[in-house]
């Protein structure tokens, strides 16, 4: 009877610690963030190469982008494992994320991609129409 009471008490204490706090993250978010980081860490390799390619070109992407991608893959994977292992504990303070730029991989996906070309101001049909009209 005492064992059952202690077991129920420990479970309730543990579950109450999982409740989100008003000021920051929660253990559940930290666990999810860690799992997301572990799952998506291999995607850092091509993502960093694209980020370097856009402003610097293909040779920078193949060299610097590849190195940056390998390092970020390792960093995101290691941070993910750390967050999974330590999710019940508020370390760093208030379950704050370790990686913040971005906290989740491709978190800024609602914005236009950083590697997207600017939208053309005219379509090919518009250009054809303008050229045809200017010939007359």
In tens, the pLDDT along 73-108 reads 999 999 999 999 999 999 888 898 898 877 888 776
Query: Residue 108's pLDDT is what?
Result: 66
Does position 13 have pLDDT exceeding 80, yes or no? no
CA distance 114 to 15: 40
Structure tokens at 11: 């479970």
Short-list 116, 114, 75, 66, CA closest to 97: 75
* pTM (global) more than 0.75: no
Give me the residue spans of the domains in the chain. 23-113
**Higher model confidence: residue 46 or residue 123?**
46
CB within 8 Å of 53: residues ≥ 6 apart: 60, 61, 65, 115
114 phi, psi to nearest 5 deg: -65, -15
Query: Residue 100's pLDDT is what?
Result: 81
Does position 110 have pLDDT exceeding 80, yes or no? no
CA distance 126 to 130: 6
Query: Residue 75's pLDDT is what?
Result: 94
The neighbour count for residue 73, using CB atoms within 10 Å, is 18
Mean pLDDT of 9-24: 54
Does position 42 have pLDDT exceeding 70, yes or no? yes
Mean pLDDT of 12-31: 66
CA distance 24 to 28: 12
Average pLDDT, the chain: 78
């Amino acid at each position: 009877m005492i064992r059952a009471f202690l077991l129920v008490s420990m479970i309730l204490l543990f579950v109450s610690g999982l409740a989100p706090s008003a000021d920051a993250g929660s253990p559940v978010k930290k666990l999810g963030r860690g799992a997301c980081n572990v799952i998506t860490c291999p995607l850092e390799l091509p993502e960093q190469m694209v980020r370097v390619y856009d402003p610097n070109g293909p040779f920078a992407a193949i060299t610097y982008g590849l190195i940056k991608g390998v390092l970020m893959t390792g960093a995101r994977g290691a941070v993910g494992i750390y967050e999974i292992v330590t999710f019940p504990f508020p370390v760093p303070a208030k379950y704050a994320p370790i990686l913040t730029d971005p906290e989740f991989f491709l978190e800024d996906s609602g914005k236009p991609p950083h590697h997207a070309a600017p939208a053309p101001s005219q379509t090919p049909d518009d250009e054809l129409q303008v050229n045809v009209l200017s010939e007359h």
